[in-house]
Amino acid sequence: MAVKNTIPFRGTPQQEQELQDVIARYKDCAGATIPVLHEAQRIYGYLPIEVQKMVSEGLNVPLAEIYGVVTFYTQFTTEPKGAYHIAVCLGTACYVKGSGDIIDRIKTRLGVDVGSCSNDGKFSLEATRCIGACGLAPVLTVNEDVYGRLVLDDIDGILDKYLK
Amino acid sequence: MNIVRSHVLVCGGTGCTSSGSEKLISEFEVQLKKAGIENEVSVVRTGCFGLCALGPIVIVYPEGAFYSMIKPEDVETIVQEHLLKGRIVTKLLYEEAVSEKNDILPLSETQFYKKQQRIVLRNCGVIDPEKIDEYIAFDGYKALGKVLTEMTPEQVIDVVKRSGIRGRGGAGFPTALKWEFAAKQPEGVKYVCCNADEGDPGAFMDRSVLEGDPHAVIEAMAIAAYAIGSEQGYIYIRAEYPIAVKRLQLAIDQAKEYGLLGNNIFDTDFSFDLEIRLGAGAFVCGEETALMTSIEGFRGEPRPRPPFPAVKGLWQRPTILNNVETYANIPQIILNGAEWFANIGTEKSKGTKVFAVGGKINNTGLVEVPMGTTLREIVEEIGGGIPNGKKFKAAQTGGPSGGCIPLSLIDTPIDYDSLLSIGAMMGSGGLIVMDEDSCMVDIAKYFLDFTVDESCGKCAPCRIGTKRMHEILEKITSGKGTMQDIENLKALANSIKSSSLCGLGQTAPNPVLSTLRYFEDEYIAHVVDKKCPAGVCKDLLQYTIDKEKCKGCNICAKNCPVTAIIGELKKPYEIIQDKCIKCGVCESKCPFDAISRK
């Protein structure tokens, strides 16, 4: 098995303070784990083991349980996202309209696999579940930008915008 | 209060927002100011109008002019012509909404809306969901007032029971029964939950209700709480729906401010509070016991039943859980009476059902029809048929738990029982239309891929069984299948169905079983002839260059990512089949249509 590149954790004291405030706010609330993890991911962008440890200590929940929750839910990620996060919808409506081919085209063009980040940290690629814009199928998003009613030939043009 | 002469309604649902409706709103504000009529015209951001395929949509009242696919540069024309000079911009109108004499037709007369009956969606695209006053103006919170001041909890449950409403989340369990079980539990802490974890790919009904009319769900949950004796509710909603989450939170805050949530609502002894809990992208959390485990903060794994949630649910307390769409019906049932509701629909399925129609269909969007409407009416009339002159092949309902309905059964009335009898299911309301270019084996594989990924892993039949089924489908679609594989698929499917712990596993084999039932010949074509009749399964395809048509321009070879195309300039090129990865780039790049796949 190939050894996975891990990008070192670069949390700042400000981020840590923000997380501690969140933990303090939720500490006595029943079922706090998931809301706190959502906030932690918003603060850090992802949930590396260092962040999971802080949540575990703050909420007094075993690290194993936190790790179990993080890896169970697809929204939580232990990998950082690229500067441009490309998400291709693989919901049924998009799939029957060819989003499978679209994701293959992006993979070939950028050399990035689904669920990972390019070495320069520029692009990450994700195959998402239905994002609910079925009227625009097939759909992909790059960070906040939504591209809909796609055909294969659109892909190069879209990627060119971000490659510059 | 400022009285305006025109209202510009801009759809702010996720579909139209994705196609740029936010830009339209700011452009309208700029242009109205420029024309000096910003005090005479009000711009309202509403929920979904339903016709997402034509988004972004703008409707101007009082004329009811339905503008479709509006771009920011069209806004100036609408403001200058329509709003300033009173001349409707006919060329930007939805063509169905214009009569032959160039008059505006009421929306209720267009093909898309004619057969619809809007109960759940009645306020979507009509009111501004971010203003509680608009909801109240449309009889909002009147049902809650009536329940709290004129009815006993038993009477509430009785009305819901006589209405005949069944759960809209998929399985169709009678809503009143759940409430009754929970109400009969000894007094103490009880919970009311709302399932807004709409995970079926291709389904967005619940999201549109929450985006377009969030107060209806809040009001209904308060009514349910009164009926079972609860003081605390939770709405479990997908984190992937940011607009819905925002509007729901705003609606809860406004309801609290108005005293419609909180202590002593309507000056009675009844108190009820509501909290949002965000899901985190696990399909299994749509299952009721898994959802409750997730609210408690754990991995969302289902629990064996009994005990049922009505007895021991969230934090081991009696709990009712209903779907968004179910709740959205409740205030209307209370206001209009059980008989009114029971008169809509079929004998065993009452009321309406909202479908998210998508896939290979012209009018992609959200439709609400009385139960018993046929699939043909939805696809051909409301949906406007299949694009590009292709033929209807099948419709898929119920997402990864449902099945495919073939052309021969297109006249089946859609209700819970008739769908079950043909091997599909109502599901939460996703309806994906497929044409002749869709491969049914590939679709079955797609859904299995989904369930393999989403299986929580707690029980072996689902965790291991769906994986094995997926492997067999992989084998068949890559041309290595045997007839024995088809038999094995059937056997596996039946044992997974009967032995899985929760609804996810019990229904996971349905897409395979229903495609095998109606499209076994396609499976056989993959296995025996090693062909994919729809031309989807890549391993069974070949790209070839037509020597007659090829001009030897070299464009295909230049674009081929694996240099599988060779040849000399101005002479026909050739594809080396062993090297070809079937990405289709050459076919799309060839200027002479010389490359085809078979």
Whether residue A105 and residue B438 make contact (CB cut-off 8 A), yes or no, is: no
Nearest partner of B146 among B325, B330, B319, B272, judged by Cα: B330
B positions 435-494 inside 8 Å of A (CB):
438, 443, 446, 456
Nearest partner of B62 among B106, B109, B117, judged by Cα: B106
Region A134-151: mean pLDDT is 87
Predicted confidence band at A20 (pLDDT cuts at 50, 70, 90)? very high
Exposed, middle or buried, B62 (CB in 10 Å: 0-12/13-18/19+)? exposed
- Which chain A positions have a beta carbon within 8 Å of B297's beta carbon? 30-34, 69
Q: What is the pLDDT along chain B (598 residues), one digit of tens a residue?
A: 578 999 999 999 888 888 889 999 999 999 999 999 999 999 999 999 989 888 899 999 999 999 999 999 999 999 999 999 999 999 999 988 888 888 888 888 889 999 999 999 999 999 999 999 999 999 999 999 999 999 999 999 999 999 999 999 878 999 999 999 999 999 999 999 999 998 888 888 999 999 999 999 999 999 999 999 999 999 999 988 888 999 999 999 999 999 999 999 999 999 999 999 999 989 999 999 999 999 999 999 999 999 999 999 999 999 999 999 999 999 999 999 999 999 999 999 999 999 999 999 999 999 999 999 999 999 999 999 999 999 999 999 988 999 999 999 999 999 999 999 998 888 888 999 999 999 999 999 999 999 999 999 999 999 999 999 999 999 999 999 999 999 999 999 999 999 999 999 999 999 999 999 999 999 999 999 999 999 889 889 889 999 999 999 999 999 888 889 999 999 999 999 988 888 788 888 899 999 988 7
Partners of A147 in the beta sheet?
A140
CA distance B240 to chain A (A): 7
Residue that the structure tokens 């139960």 belong to: B371
Q: What is the ipTM of this complex?
A: 0.86
How many CB pairs lie under 8 A apart between chains A and B? 136
How do residues A146-156 score in pLDDT, each as one tens digit? 898 899 889 99
Residue B85 in tokens? 């000079």
CB atoms within 10 A of CB B263: 11
**Backbone φ, ψ for residue B11 (5° rounding):** -70, 125
Region A15-32: mean pLDDT is 94
CATH domain B440-529 topology? de novo design (two linked rop proteins) (1.20.1440)
- Which chain B positions have a beta carbon within 8 Å of A91's beta carbon? 201-202
Q: What is the pLDDT of residue B329?
A: 97
Query: In what helix (H) or strand (E) does residue B333 lie, and over which residues does it extend?
Result: helix B324-336
Whether residue A133 and residue B18 make contact (CB cut-off 8 A), yes or no, is: yes
Q: According to CATH, what is the number of the domain B542-597?
A: 3.30.70.20
How do residues B334-354 score in pLDDT, each as one tens digit? 999 999 999 999 999 999 999
Q: Do residues A41 and A77 touch, judged by C-beta distance below 8 A?
A: yes
Q: What does B105-172 look like in DSSP terms, one character per residue?
A: PPGGGSHHHHT---STTTTTTTS-TT-HHHHHHTTTTHHHHHHHHH--HHHHHHHHHHHT-B-TTSS-
- Which chain B positions have a beta carbon within 8 Å of A31's beta carbon? 277, 295-297
Q: Among 3.40.250.10, 3.10.20.600, 3.40.50.2000, 3.90.1720.10, what is the CATH number of B352-435?
A: 3.10.20.600
CA distance A150 to chain B (A): 12
Q: What is the pLDDT of residue B393?
A: 96
Is residue A2 predicted with pLDDT exceeding 60? Answer: no
Taking each helix axis from N to C end, the angle separating B440-454 and B510-524, rounded to the nearest 10 degrees, works out to: 150
Is residue A1 predicted with pLDDT exceeding 60? Answer: no
Whether residue B207 and residue A132 make contact (CB cut-off 8 A), yes or no, is: yes
pTM, 2 dp: 0.90
Residue that the structure tokens 């689902």 belong to: B462
- Which chain B positions have a beta carbon within 8 Å of A72's beta carbon? 282, 299-300, 456
Domain ranges of chain A: 13-72, 84-163
- Which chain A positions have a beta carbon within 8 Å of B315's beta carbon? 30
Whether residue B241 and residue A132 make contact (CB cut-off 8 A), yes or no, is: yes
Which amino acid is it at B8?
A: V
Q: According to CATH, what is the number of the domain B132-342?
A: 3.40.50.11540
CA distance B415 to chain A (A): 22
A positions 127-156 inside 8 Å of B (CB):
128-137, 139, 146, 148, 152-153
Q: What is the pLDDT of residue A5?
A: 52
Domain ranges of chain B: 6-107, 132-342, 352-435, 440-529, 542-597
Residue B158 in tokens? 């009785």
CA distance B281 to chain A (A): 5
**Order of all β-strands in the sheet with A84-89:** A123-128, A84-89, A140-142, A145-147
**Backbone φ, ψ for residue B299 (5° rounding):** -60, 135
Predicted confidence band at A3 (pLDDT cuts at 50, 70, 90)? very low
Partners of B345 in the beta sheet?
B350
- Which chain A positions have a beta carbon within 8 Å of B293's beta carbon? none
CA distance A128 to chain B (A): 10
CATH class of B6-107: alpha beta
Residue B359 in tokens? 């896939």
HEC secondary structure over chain A:
CCCCCCCCCCCCHHHHHHHHHHHHHHCCCCCCHHHHHHHHHHHHCCCCHHHHHHHHHHHCCCHHHHHHHHHHCCCCCCCCCCCEEEEEECCHHHHHCCHHHHHHHHHHHHCCCECCECCCCCEEEEEECCCCCHHHCCCEEECCEEECCCCCCHHHHHHHHHHC
Q: Is A67 on the interface with B (CB under 8 A)?
A: no
Whether residue B277 and residue A34 make contact (CB cut-off 8 A), yes or no, is: yes
Least confident of A4-13, A85-94, B358-367: A4-13
Q: Among 3.40.30.10, 3.30.110.40, 3.30.70.100, 3.40.50.1820, what is the CATH number of A84-163?
A: 3.40.30.10
